[in-house]
Structure 1
Amino acid sequence: MSVRKMATFTSLQQFLVGAKQAFNQSAAANTPVHLVVGNESADLDSFASSILYAFLDTIIKAPSTPKGEPLHTSDGEVASFFSRVRVPTIPLLSIPRSEVGLRPEHAHLTSHLSFALSDMPTLSDLPEHIQPKGTSITLVDHNVLQPPLAPHFSPSVTSLIDHHVDENMYPNAAPRTIRPVGSCASLIANHFRTHYATHWNNLPESIHSEIARLALAPILIDTANMKAESKVTPIDIVQVTELLERAGEGFDRNMFYDGLQAAKGDISGLSIDGLLRKDYKQWKEKNGVVLGVSAITRSLSWVVKQAGGIDNFSAELEKYAKDRGLDISIVMTTDNSSGFRRDLLIWGANDKTKSFAQSFEDSANDKFKLEQWPNEEDELAESITIEGMKAWTQASLDLSRKQVAPVLREVASKF
């Protein structure tokens, strides 16, 4: 009697539950595992891109599986499927489980999908006994592995897909795709469409809309619903067009985008520490200088007011920087409440870097059009008196963290 073998999954929840089980089993047995890791901010693009890549990679690499018949809902069948995959591919969110709740846009997205946030592996789920030797890593939405994984797993990076500035690491990675598009999810959808087109067509209709909505979420958020002309590229346009065709009957793109945007902006209940952690990236330069950038979707005046004044905010920032071993702490804010604006605060946290803010202003003022903060539009009248700390309103509104970070890092590398 022949045993029917499963072709694919009927939901992303089915895949994620099976992948987490396979992850634990592989780690316990010290057998190879393939991790798909997003950047340390764990934003919507990293969240969706890691799941999208891991799912499609699993589908196309599963051996001896007829492609015409879907996987039915059975724990035994799911386990059997993964048992035949030589190296399971697992998405990993680069934050501890305790920080997932800081990103309400993730929860909003999963309300449109089959799985819960608890189904997504995080750093808290990383088994203590996992070995770098048996681990391969695909980076998505960044192209240099960051702590806490970097010290042990940097040699494990074998492939990457990203849309940030190329830092020229991992020259032998395959694929090694770095292109300046609106969203990394666009590149991943394009990669699998280009290289494995037939597998898209063999996916059951029940999962088409899930994949489409998962991929559309970060593309639409990162391109302001495809209205940010400076960010939208032909690849984004092609992918959004094709994904909308798969998103399912009754899918309303504008309502979907508005819901995600509202959830992303819902930060009123967060502490100052939570605001600093919610969307955070950190780098260590070759000279040993460590800088961290927190992005917050409110004006700097709003953040300072929430803290109870500039002195309280500075104390919170000092504690945050100390906890992370930062030499330079940076806060970038964006606000849409009365016209779009960007604010930027920089603090050189020690004697070595206390002149950093002034050095940045001297070298980047023309490009970023920095104007002193607070200005007449700010309700907050307090000025900054903390040594090494300066803040500005950034008149070059099209320059986001993706463009500002390389300049900050270049200045930091000279300290």
Structure 2
Amino acid sequence: MTSSTFAHFLHSMKVRSRTADLVVVGNSGADLDSIASALVLAWHVTCGRPRKRPVALIATRRRRLGWRPEVGFLLNQAAINSNDLLFLDDLDLKKMVKGGTELFLVDHNRLDPDVVDHDVAQVTGIIDHHHDSGHHTEAEPRIIKKAGSCATLVADYILADTGDMEAAAALLLAGAILLDTVNLSSSTGRTTDRDRKMAGKLLALCDQEQNSLFDHLQQAGTRLGNLSSAELLARDYKEWSWPAGFYGIASVPLLLHQWQEVEPDLAAAIAGHARHHDLPLLLVMLSGGRRHFQRQLIIYCRNDRLLNELVDFLEGQDLRLTTLGPQQSVADGGRVRMFAQGKSAMSRKKIQPLLHDFLKKRLTHPA
């Protein structure tokens, strides 16, 4: 599958970056949704606003692309060379922003301070499907809507403008939607009518069969045997601030029994990630199951009272938690608890705002 205009844009991005005045950037998790949304939207801006000189930035280090085999698979299917893409290694984004380069955020709606300075950056556009943080209200467009995938909103935005899209671009967005919604499943609680509508249009544009594309993406995404536990925890990790410092949530596309087959001391590995980021609290959300989608939850906490209160709170949010084994103590004094999560619709996107409100209200001065 080839796409001359889209492919040419991507192939020329490194040259374009020397004079770019707009950077379309996904979130620092750098998953398929963020990457596809940034690449396709940057190309659309080039087509629709010729006076702008945009590039797309993948907000992680180049070496980490190998941590996401599903992304590599889909790029290959779309005949896109990853060497053409721009990563944090390739751009001095902070310098560009200080020089007046504008930012268009996709798959997040608040700047990541590790990527660029909040006080200097000018955010002129946002398309996102997460909880509205209330930041960058001057951005235009500022599209923050409920959807299973940011790629859905990007596709809607582009197709409303052009009515068409090249096959390779449509393939990237379609793949992101299917992966984020678990093949448009209703049971995950993520999928909206907008996701179904956009997926149907995109699959027709790239001439792909839904189930086949999803199966190939899902199979590719499980090829993680060469990753250490530290890399699995880092590949899709996000953190937020609260009165006691920071807390983090990592997403790992494995179930507990699969991970424990290659990691005999999982509690210690999770505690190591928390220590590396100086976190008093870390949640690890596991997912998997080819026929029946499942979620599991691991909580690491350095404070017993906080841990017990948090478990009570989450059970009150109807996560349908079932304990998997006894609580474990780790060398740094922290505790680790593991659960099956019966309500698979509660993803990180839904749990994090609830957790944040809980911490702000009840734990301003944790013991």
Calculate the TM-score normalised by the size of structure 2: 0.89
SS in structure 2 at match of 1:126: coil
Cα distance between partner residues in 2 of 1:153 and 1:140: 19
Query: Is the 8 Å Cα contact of residues 28 and 112 (structure 2) preserved in structure 1?
Result: yes
Percent of aligned pairs with the same residue?
27
Matched, 1:44 2:32: yes
Cα distance between partner residues in 1 of 2:59 and 2:306: 29
SS in structure 1 at match of 2:77: coil
Query: Is the 8 Å Cα contact of residues 44 and 218 (structure 1) preserved in structure 2?
Result: yes
Matches for 1:329-368 after TM superposition, within 5 Å: 329-336=282-289, 339-349=292-302, 353=303, 355-366=305-316, 367-368=318-319
SS in structure 1 at match of 2:86: coil
Equivalent residue number for residue 260 of structure 1: 217
Equivalent residue number for residue 280 of structure 1: 237
Residue by residue over 1:338-373, the C-alpha shift from the partner in whole angstroms, topping out at 9 and shown as x without a partner, is: 844321111124xxx553322211222132122212
Query: Cα offset for 1:219?
Result: 0.8
Residue by residue over 1:13-60, the C-alpha shift from the partner in whole angstroms, topping out at 9 and shown as x without a partner, is: 31112122111x22xxxxx62111111111110010001110101110
Query: Cα offset for 1:383?
Result: 4.8
Cα distance between partner residues in 2 of 1:341 and 1:411: 25
SS in structure 1 at match of 2:297: strand
Cα distance between partner residues in 1 of 2:350 and 2:81: 33
Cα distance between partner residues in 2 of 1:398 and 1:130: 40
Query: Is the 8 Å Cα contact of residues 133 and 156 (structure 1) preserved in structure 2?
Result: no
Calculate the TM-score normalised by the size of structure 1: 0.79
Matched, 1:306 2:265: no
Query: Is the 8 Å Cα contact of residues 132 and 153 (structure 1) preserved in structure 2?
Result: no
SS in structure 1 at match of 2:269: helix
The number of aligned residues is 354
Query: Is the 8 Å Cα contact of residues 70 and 218 (structure 2) preserved in structure 1?
Result: yes
Cα distance change of structure 1 residues 119 and 100 upon mapping to structure 2, 3 Å threshold: same
Query: Is the 8 Å Cα contact of residues 13 and 85 (structure 2) preserved in structure 1?
Result: no
Q: Which runs of 5+ in 2 are unaligned?
A: none
Query: Is the 8 Å Cα contact of residues 297 and 333 (structure 1) preserved in structure 2?
Result: yes
From 140, 145, 152, the equivalent of 2:106 is 140
Q: Which runs of 5+ in 1 are unaligned?
A: 1-8, 27-31, 63-84, 375-381
Equivalent residue number for residue 394 of structure 1: 341
Cα distance between partner residues in 2 of 1:253 and 1:398: 21
Cα distance between partner residues in 1 of 2:291 and 2:321: 19
Cα distance between partner residues in 1 of 2:184 and 2:131: 21
Equivalent residue number for residue 35 of structure 1: 23
Cα distance between partner residues in 2 of 1:385 and 1:176: 45
From 275, 279, 296, the equivalent of 1:322 is 275
Equivalent residue number for residue 117 of structure 2: 151
Equivalent residue number for residue 98 of structure 1: 63
From 314, 321, 327, the equivalent of 1:370 is 321
Query: Cα offset for 1:305?
Result: 3.9
Cα distance change of structure 1 residues 134 and 354 upon mapping to structure 2, 3 Å threshold: farther
Cα distance change of structure 1 residues 190 and 246 upon mapping to structure 2, 3 Å threshold: same
Residue by residue over 1:260-283, the C-alpha shift from the partner in whole angstroms, topping out at 9 and shown as x without a partner, is: 111112222211011101211121
State the one-letter code of the partner of 2:191: V
Cα distance change of structure 1 residues 274 and 216 upon mapping to structure 2, 3 Å threshold: same
Cα distance between partner residues in 1 of 2:10 and 2:232: 29
Cα distance between partner residues in 1 of 2:63 and 2:275: 20
Cα distance between partner residues in 1 of 2:105 and 2:151: 12
Cα distance between partner residues in 2 of 1:348 and 1:139: 32
Larger deviation, residues 288-297 vs 333-342: 333-342
SS in structure 1 at match of 2:89: helix
Cα distance change of structure 1 residues 154 and 362 upon mapping to structure 2, 3 Å threshold: farther
Matches for 1:226-237 after TM superposition, within 5 Å: 226-228=184-186, 230-237=189-196
Query: Is the 8 Å Cα contact of residues 279 and 295 (structure 1) preserved in structure 2?
Result: yes
SS in structure 2 at match of 1:298: coil
